[in-house]
Chain A
Amino acid sequence: MNQMTDLTKTDSSPMLRVSDLTHRVSLETDTLTILQGVSLEINRGESVAIVGRSGSGKTTLLGLLAGLDTPTEGTVELDGSVISKLSEDERAKLRARRVGFVFQSFQLLPALTALENVMLPLELAGMEAPEQRARELLERVGLGERLNHTPRQLSGGEQQRVAIARAFASDPAILFADEPTGNLDNRTGQAVSDLLMDLNREQGTTLVMVTHDEHLAERCGRQLHIEAGMLTEPDLAGGPAH
């Protein structure tokens, strides 16, 4: 809301540019190729769903796109920086300022209250008045009354809403979500995905999301299908969503 102006001055370079990405892990006996020759571009403000069968490499791709890991071959350019050229700390800095995450298993710190959990990325990014902003966000996700509750005292849906508030807290340029509704029932999942899409639109964030939920995938501007580590023909409905 308040930072929208900042983000609308987007330059024309894509938010994410991936070329010829290959990822292998070495196992005890041989090496396993998880991703092969993946190339894609995602523009600023776009929302993209990555879909595919279980074990097809969606999570691996997401992690590489977000710079949580470095690929074996190929480059990932995130917001103008080539990930593999950055040091571990530089990548961390980039994540602190530009990237938000939502996980399937919420990943809230159990010892912290909802408020403290949302404040965490703000503190790490060294932002001003973290508490103020965290309160606003929790109110926005409908948990204004549960600020001082710990994750244990919240239901799964509520926990995911806290996680969404946390993801948007540092005002990221891009948000990655790995099956954000995977642990939730249909109705709760619906509510959570509504929230995610709404916030995404309000904040003008680029959204990259792995999901098995067809409805949710359809609400995204574009869908990337992945099969056995390779992108299949992009959906024709793809293209910049505006």
Chain B
Amino acid sequence: MGASKKLMSVSRDWRERDVRVVLVALIIAVATVATIALFASQLQRTLVSSASSFLAADRQLEAENGRPIPLEWLEDAQSRGLETGRMVEFSTMVFGESGFQLVSVKAVSDEYPLRGEIEIQPGAEEPRQIVSQGPGPGQVWVNPRLLRLLELDIGDTLEVGNLKLEITRLLIREPDGGFRLSSLAPRVMMHVDDVAATGVVQEGSRVEYVYLFAGDEGVLDDYYQWLEPQLEPSHEWEGVRDGETFSRSLERAERFLLLGGSLAVLLAAVAVAVASRQYALSQRDTVALLKTLGLSSRGIGELYLRRLSLWGIVGVLGGLAVALPLFWLLVRLLSDVLERPVDFYLDPAALTPALLTALVSLFAFAYPPIRRLRNVPAMRVLRSQPGETGREAIPDILLAVVAVFGLVWMYAGELMLVAALLGGLVLLLGVLGLLGWGMVALLRRVKGGGNSWRLALVGLYRHRRASMAQMAVFAMTLMLAATLVLVRSSLLDDWQAQLPDDAPNHFLINIAPDAVDDVEEFWATRGAPLETLYPMVRGRLTELNGEPVKEAVSKDERVGALNRELNLTWMAELPEDNRIVDGQWFGPGETEGVSVEAELAEKLGLQLGDRLTFTIGSSKVTEPVTSIRTVQWDSMKPNFYMAFPPDGGLTDMPATWITAFYLNTDNKLALNDFSRQFPTVSVLEIDHIIDRIQQIVQQVTQAIEAILALILAAALVVMAAVVSATLRDRQREGALLRTLGGQQSLLARSTMLEFALLGFFAGTLGVIAAEGAVYALQAGMFEGTFRWHWQVMLPVPLIAAVLLALFGRWQLRPVLSVSPMLLLRRLE
């Protein structure tokens, strides 16, 4: 059966234009999805390890009650295969030859840090080094500021309690660089085994035991499941994803990548659907012929199914052949951006979405029109039968829609994302239907057409069905691309706005009320004015409407804020970046009530008017909730869950003041003077943390840009596929028009105009739908504020018009160059 084998071969298929389009679309689909998935999982890993390093681990367990945790908790973790480490943190006086200083000690075990690195300097003049282990027993690493304060040098001895330790390194940066407000400057790092010998840490002294865990996410989660019931209120379990500052950035990045991946799926699906339908139409004659020759419907079904499977194999292999080098390139790029080598991490699981995409593309998008081929009547051989009217395609479209949203849902797991895209598409199709109807009604009047403008309109009318379909695809493609661009820019804008170059990078904590003015003056004269000062009172939320809060809140809700002391404050004015979402901010002179942060309020199920009781030291304060507000946790400014009005519930409570300010690197030495002048005030240096966040933002931005480029490329291919889908018809028509006396220039001009009009309409529709989708996404997922994007809305239709006109001109090439003789030769 040589002939039927030949009919089946891919190389023969390849010579067919529509098959080429299907295969290329499939390859691009698989390549895009595979690249994005691979890169996303790589990025995820890099980002998480980057962010994990802020904890020096994947998870931390803090015991604030001054007692170590039971040994079996650690043993259990180890038996599960988790890495563990320990730290003890406390404040104490240290002695040098010429004086003493209050320091914040961090004693670490050999395993520290499980994630991230420590930056040190072997001597004041020597270059900085990155190491992955803390000091050994008998050694101590210290903050350079301490050496100046105590007039000590590397190699000198530092006394910590009863123990003499040798100063061996300058400590520049530790991965978990003290994001907690309780830490006190300057830092001293020693080995945990030396702690007992110092005699500083005794039962009941103010000390914090911290345990580090790292390992597989699933194992960590299981471990926590096991651990949680045994935890006491003073135990706090912290992970990157719970940590407030970085997780937001990460989450957004993750969502964006997912969105990008989903859009790629959509685009790919569109390309495959368009091309396969075109292919099916072109196969009708062949099928009729095969039927005449005696092939059964079943046989035909099998023939095409086998062919489809072959395409699938070619698509997957080809896609991977494109994706892998591309991925390799992206990772190389990523290591350049990060200025450090990134482990090449090829996650086999990341290939699953690509395979699924290929499968769904083939069977939900390519197969339905091809399946219907078996219904082609053999009569067609004798007499051209009415082809497809488009009505048969409706179930195909429904299936495709369901498949697309199933896929997007599976990848993103976000109902919101699915809803936003679906909403955008429905909006788009609605407007498109209306516009198409109007267009046909209008174009019906334009009947003549000697000049190119009229011929273009006639052309639109003449191809109204194809035009509508193309416009739908273009508009959809543009909508998806525009959505991505818009979301990207608002995402980046938001980030930039949150972390300007002069974002506060130092906190001052524990300022005594009578020192506030002096502290303000100190920094004002040094050109580093303070941000708003807030009073801070430490207290616990203990009762909700008179009931103990643990009982009032459902058991399975983990509310971190209940596990630890909260920082309470009072303030007259709402901070700029806070927003009231319910109730009202305190009026002037109002002294009753408390304003609660929105997410906490939601977790606790708080309503306006609920009465909250706080235990502060030995006294209790009860106030009704009068407003609920959102807080920008990643703003790097003091933020509070609970805010009281001035002269309200917190009056007479023991308060210290807190503030933040921006200090540039050149001015850092002023901190030494400050510590000497205000020894009780703690300085929290977070400049390197801010640097790291900016680095992460950079990193994510680059990744997003790379993926955006990929998706835009996919969009272009879809457009090319759709435009060339009608090439055959246009070629014939062009030849006929020329035979009937149409001039080349007229044909060229009118075709370009026709496509420009098409592009303009599609562009306009696309951006309108994109705005709708962005609005929904922003409202639901990215928490940004929505605004119209005129800078995108205006140029996109124009760019689309120009682009399509060029596409039209490009596809017209064969039409213009082909000899009209074609018609006489009956070239179908």
Taking Cβ atoms with an 8 Å cutoff, the residues of A that contact B are: 59, 62-63, 68-69, 88-89, 92-97, 99, 101, 103-105, 107, 109, 111-112, 116, 119-121, 123-126, 130-131, 152-153, 156, 166, 170, 178
Q: In the complex the two chains form, is A92's CB within 8 Å of B744's CB?
A: yes
Residues of B within 8 A of A94 (CB): 741
The 9 closest A-B pairs by CB, nearest first: A96-B741, A126-B450, A95-B741, A68-B820, A121-B740, A89-B743, A63-B821, A92-B743, A123-B449
- B385 closest partner in A (C-beta): A152
Picked from B386, B449, B742, the residue with its CB within 8 Å of the CB of A92 is: B742
Q: In the complex the two chains form, is B463's CB within 8 Å of A111's CB?
A: yes
Q: In the complex the two chains form, is A92's CB within 8 Å of B741's CB?
A: yes
Q: Label chain A's interface by main secondary structure.
A: helix
Closest Cβ of chain A to B73, distance in Å, is 76
Q: In the complex the two chains form, is B824's CB within 8 Å of A97's CB?
A: no
Residues of B within 8 A of A124 (CB): 450, 737, 740-742, 746
Taking Cβ atoms with an 8 Å cutoff, the residues of B that contact A are: 383-384, 386-387, 447-450, 455, 458, 462-466, 732-733, 736-746, 819-821, 823-826
Residues of B within 8 A of A126 (CB): 450
Bound complex: CA A62 to CA B739 (Å): 13
Q: In the complex the two chains form, is A95's CB within 8 Å of B739's CB?
A: yes
Closest Cβ of chain B to A141, distance in Å, is 17
Residues of A within 8 A of B745 (CB): 89
Residues of A within 8 A of B736 (CB): 107, 109
Q: In the complex the two chains form, is B741's CB within 8 Å of A121's CB?
A: yes
Residues of B within 8 A of A112 (CB): 462
Residues of B within 8 A of A125 (CB): 450, 741
Bound complex: CA A99 to CA B732 (Å): 19
Would A170 and B741 be within 8 Å (CB), given that A123-B458, A156-B383 are in contact?
Answer: yes
Residues of A within 8 A of B386 (CB): 152-153
Closest Cβ of chain A to B281, distance in Å, is 12
Q: In the complex the two chains form, is A68's CB within 8 Å of B821's CB?
A: yes
Closest Cβ of chain B to A71, distance in Å, is 12
Q: In the complex the two chains form, is A95's CB within 8 Å of B826's CB?
A: no
Bound complex: CA A88 to CA B818 (Å): 12
Closest Cβ of chain A to B734, distance in Å, is 11
**What are some 18 contacts across the A-B interface (CB < 8 A)?**
A63-B824, A68-B821, A68-B824, A69-B820, A88-B744, A93-B743, A95-B739, A96-B740, A99-B741, A119-B447, A120-B740, A123-B450, A123-B458, A130-B447, A130-B448, A152-B384, A153-B386, A178-B824
Picked from A88, A89, A101, A116, the residue with its CB within 8 Å of the CB of B739 is: A101
Residues of A within 8 A of B820 (CB): 63, 68-69
Q: In the complex the two chains form, is B738's CB within 8 Å of A92's CB?
A: yes
Residues of B within 8 A of A101 (CB): 739-740, 823
- B736 closest partner in A (C-beta): A107
Bound complex: CA A68 to CA B827 (Å): 15
- B820 closest partner in A (C-beta): A68
- A153 closest partner in B (C-beta): B386
Bound complex: CA A97 to CA B740 (Å): 9
Q: In the complex the two chains form, is B733's CB within 8 Å of A109's CB?
A: yes
Would A69 and B741 be within 8 Å (CB), given that A62-B824, A111-B465, A123-B448 are in contact?
Answer: no
Residues of B within 8 A of A68 (CB): 739, 819-821, 823-824
Closest Cβ of chain B to A208, distance in Å, is 13
Picked from B447, B450, B732, B746, the residue with its CB within 8 Å of the CB of A131 is: B447
Most buried by A among B458, B462, B741: B741
- B741 closest partner in A (C-beta): A96
